[in-house]
Structure 1
């Protein structure tokens, strides 16, 4: 358990010690630990998360290219090559780099190839979903598929269905769909993203990370609102906000094995419970986080909108201390 006041640590590996060791090797330019780790990964949810975190670290290096050169027939290396290609294309898009379109097409071809060499793997389809956001005009047919429900927007539903067929309720696939929806227009599109999150959470089984999706949309709505009076803001204590936080705690946190909880989901849940004044539940989530944190969603509550990680960390520490004080001091749940 982290002590109150101790600066939290951001570590993409979180509680996954084996992943942390592999990341250290990747940063040193070595790929063998990555290969061994992925060979030992025995669930699609863990596979999806580990390949994503490894790719984010490897994207600035040639380590995956070196691995593929040594083992050109390795399907795992090909999956990581697709992952890295997607990460580079997305970064180029964010930076408005002149090579964005070229990198996008390279990544698409890498992913398309892996859908055939690894036909049971959800990751290639998750990667294609990630690339869909680069098609801002929705010019590609695969990004204009009719939705499964009338109130949902047109989008890359076929790609989501392919990922879902291989790993039902895949967490990253649904987050990639949210990212596809976010930038397209103003409040109407954000409402459609909220509808998607509610639809996904409403059909998810107990223990699924999809129950946390509505909390991400609420943070995005707050971020776009421009409201920064966090102590007085009623956005987080509204009836629907409180209901979403409670449902995420009951349907996900209380029923998900600790080893399968992601740091971003834990942070969003702790943030939502603290904002909803449900301090006893928030205290339990902070305990599950231990010494780790993620800058989002705390940055959106920091003074000035959270331009620095230091200010975001201060909000995190204040929320943790307040939740622990209320929960362990024997006081009421609500302040």
Structure 2
């Protein structure tokens, strides 16, 4: 069926991506957390606890849900209240720690880094098989600029529990970038090593394309003539090959089935449009059906507007 032969859903920013239960919880929290009453806190904590108790061994979905909730609750009292009430609940400790890190990213620092570390280590003791306390510690390591041996110690703890943890690979990609503690060469070495070992549909499959989009943005940010010819990035070997490796598979039904797959499809649609590969982008937009992930669209402005503009470009002439 042609893309425009059926009714197209309007673009909508969806931090929950394809997780309907998480989406319902976010709507409920949005409706109730602002009252500040004890009863409201009790209700929200019960809802959080119930959702996070589902599928306890699905580390991919658990990490996704924790990360989305942490971003949603950053700056809120709710996660802190839950952790204070139930200091032996690993979910409460991890969520509180992750909200503190998410808030720190917007504030430029982590006021109580030692307290966040203690929460993560306590959660790791209470739930030794769970990778999420170590995922949060990896995020702390980036904010606090820990020394490389300490960072890799935490990294090893994550992948020992969840070999292809998407959040961990993206976090390490950031840590190894020249903007943080590494270099372009270290990023390429990390990506090459991963690509040689990783299943094509692993949750961390977008690590290489993420690195390429970040490099493309770095060229755009330089401005001037380089920004004008930034599209050439996608015709050069590394950019073109990164797209070629995934363009024909990711949009196939069922190929990507991890929790954040729609975010990876957003990334692919963005890169294909940047490379002017519109025909390939059409199938990706059809698969997304209007589900927008904020990044990388927000680099150009409002993510929903940028998504809609790109979708119109991809489908022009049909």
Same fold (TM over 0.5): yes
Match 1:234 to one of 232, 235, 238: 232
Mapping of 1:109-120 within 5 angstroms? 109-120=118-129
Deviations 1:73-129 (A, max 9, x none): 323222222222332333332xx5xxx3x3222211111211111100000111111
Structure 2: how far apart are the matches of 1:73 and 1:313? 40
Q: Aligned pair 1:322/2:313, yes or no? A: yes
Q: In the TM superposition, what whole-angstrom CA distance separates every residue of 1:22-41 from its partner, at most 9, and x where no partner exists?
A: 12233323222221111113
CA shift for structure 1 position 291: 1.7
| In structure 2, C-alpha distance between the alignment counterparts of 1:224 and 1:257, rounded to whole Å | 28
Contact 2:203 2:258 in 1 (8 A): no
Which residue of structure 2 aligns with residue 269 of structure 1?
A: 268
SS of 1:31's equivalent?
helix
CA contact (8 A) 2:89 2:123 kept: no
Separation (CA, whole Å) in 1 of partners of 2:270 and 2:80: 39
Give the Å deviation of 1:193: 1.7
Residue 252 to residue 290, structure 1, CA distance change in 2 (3 Å): closer
Take 1:209 and 1:259, find their aligned partners in 2: how far apart are those partners? 5
- Residue of structure 2 in register with 1:52 after alignment: 67
Q: 1:224 aligns with which of 218, 229, 245?
A: 218
Change (3 A) 1:91 1:170: same
- Whole-Å separation in 2 of the counterparts to 1:118 and 1:91: 29
Aligned residue-pair number: 297
Match of 1:206 in 2: 200
| Counterparts of 1:285 and 1:159, CA distance in 2 | 35
Residues 36 and 57 (structure 1), Cα distance of their counterparts in 2 relative to 1, 3 Å cut: same
**Is the counterpart of residue 65 in structure 1 residue 88 in structure 2?**
no
- In the alignment, what sits opposite 1:41? 55
Please tell me whether the aligned partners of residues 7 and 313 of structure 1 are also in contact (alpha carbons under 8 angstroms). Answer: no
TM-score (norm 1): 0.78
Q: TM-score with structure 2 length normalisation?
A: 0.81
Q: Does 1:144 align with 2:148?
A: yes
Mapped contact 2:278–2:315 kept (Cα < 8 A): yes
Distance change in 2, residues 1:287/1:259 (3 Å): farther
Structure 1 stretches (4+) deviating beyond 6 angstroms? 1-6
Structure 1, unmatched stretches of 5+, are 146-154, 301-305, 330-335
Asked if 2 retains the 8 angstrom alpha-carbon contact of 1:211 and 1:251, the reply is no
Aligned-residue offset at 1:261: 4.0
Q: What is the aligned partner in structure 2 of residue 152 from structure 1? A: none
Q: Indicate which of 100, 105, 111 corresponds to 2:114.
A: 105
* Alignment partners' CA distance in 2, 1:216 and 1:24: 29
Q: Summarize the Cα distance change of 1:66–1:26 in structure 2 as closer, same or farther, 3 Å threshold.
A: farther
Unaligned runs of 5+ in 2: 34-43
| 1:19 Cα deviation from its structure 2 partner | 0.3
Q: Is the 8 A contact 1:207 1:253 kept in 2?
A: no
